[in-house]
Amino acid sequence: MGDQDLHHLGVHTKQQNARALVDHVMSVPSIRLLTVIPHHYRYRGSRPRCEGHDNMNAIDTDRVWLITGASSGFGRQFVRAALDGGDRVVATARRVADIREPANDRLLRTRLDVTDQQSIDSSVGAALDQFGRIDVLVNNAGYGLLGAFEEIDEDRFRENIDVNFFGPCAVTRAVLPSMRARQSGHIVQMSSVIGVVPGPGGTAYAAAKFALEGFSEALAAEVRHLGIGVTIVEPGPFRTDASGRSLKWGNPLDDYAELIGPARVAFESTHGSQPGDPRRGVDAVIEAISSDEPPLRLPLGSTSFD
């Protein structure tokens, strides 16, 4: 299936059941990206192997992670995987009580709202005070907002951009000085396949993720000489809250009902049964950023499926 086909799915939604629609909208582009994505697209601007810079592999046994959105989904799996690997973790969420892993000498739990600069600065400061450095930043916090452009009012559209784009920018800005001082570090930006192949109903979410992708690629080129890497992760359908509590919808309009309505049914009916295993996806990310040539982009799809 080509990109053009994705833009005409609305014509066929009446003939497709809910699961087939999700497969067309999300799974197919994920698989295509994994199998034919050009080498230059994946590696352009990724962290170089530089003399005099710390290599991530050299500190693999004791990395310090700062993870946003750590209470569920990919965020929680990053926390668990990092701890399982013997690393130290700063797990953040808007509500600390939602972080299910108990605090210990290797796990610091802090409140971080990506739209609240004070909470960002406080979390980063606490991480540096307790562990002395941040080796890996995972910008995972965010939510989905789907619906036709006219179905999403201006305030909700802007809020989506604030959380999904300006939020990661703000956290990155707070962490970069310490990475720059050490000439080492890696930034993981959790994007989406919708940030590469958008479709009907994705105007708001795609706008935020496309912005994040462009920002991150430019940032990678700016910081690579400092020994800092950037990897943009582009997941397809995984068993996370991305199609559950973390997914919001616009206010339905009759003129878009035939196009958007079936997609909403599809997301709701397949929540919890998506093919992607989030822990396997996270393991793939960790393996990629720990390699000698970490990718700029890492599409996640069929290779992480059960």
> What span, in angstroms and rounded, lies between the C-alpha atoms of 151 and 251?
5
Cβ–Cβ under 8 Å, residues 221 and 47? no
Q: Does the active-site annotation cover 248?
A: no
Ordered per-residue pLDDT tens for the chain, 306 residues: 444 444 444 434 433 433 443 443 444 333 333 333 444 445 555 554 444 445 444 444 589 999 999 998 889 999 999 999 999 999 999 999 999 999 999 999 999 999 999 999 999 999 999 999 999 999 999 988 999 999 999 999 999 999 999 999 999 999 999 999 999 999 999 998 888 888 888 899 999 999 999 999 999 999 999 999 999 999 865 555 655 566 888 889 999 998 888 777 766 665 544 555 788 889 999 999 999 999 999 988 753 334
Question: Cβ neighbours of residue 243 under 8 Å, at least 6 residues apart?
Answer: 144, 237, 267, 268, 270, 271, 274
Report residue 42 as tokens. Answer: 């994946």
Cβ–Cβ under 8 Å, residues 133 and 64? yes
User: Among residues 76, 31, 41, which one has the least CA distance to residue 282?
Assistant: 76
| pLDDT score of 238 | 54
Q: Which CATH number is associated with domain 13-304?
A: 3.40.50.720
Q: Supply the DSSP string of 162-219, one letter for each residue.
A: IIIIIHHHHHHHHHHHHHHHHT-EEEEEE--GGGTS--TTBHHHHHHHHHHHHHHHHH
> What span, in angstroms and rounded, lies between the C-alpha atoms of 47 and 58?
15
> What span, in angstroms and rounded, lies between the C-alpha atoms of 178 and 134?
7
Q: State the alpha helices, DSSP H only, in 224-248.
A: none
Q: Which of 46, 192, 209, 216 is catalytic?
A: 209
| pLDDT score of 61 | 58
Size of the chain, expressed as the number of residues it contains: 306
| pLDDT score of 244 | 55
Question: Cβ neighbours of residue 54 under 8 Å, at least 6 residues apart?
Answer: 182, 183, 184, 227
pTM of this structure: 0.80
What is the CB-side half-sphere exposure of residue 301 using CA atoms within 13 A?
A: 22
Q: Which of 178, 205, 216, 256 is catalytic?
A: 205
* Spans of all domains in the chain: 13-304
Look-up of token digits 């970069």: 176
Cα-Cα end-to-end distance for the chain:
22
Cβ–Cβ under 8 Å, residues 178 and 135? no
Give 47's DSSP letter. Answer: P
Q: Which of 191, 192, 243, 304 is catalytic?
A: 191
Q: Does the active-site annotation cover 209?
A: yes
> What span, in angstroms and rounded, lies between the C-alpha atoms of 137 and 149?
32
Q: Does the active-site annotation cover 205?
A: yes
| pLDDT score of 147 | 93
| pLDDT score of 281 | 85
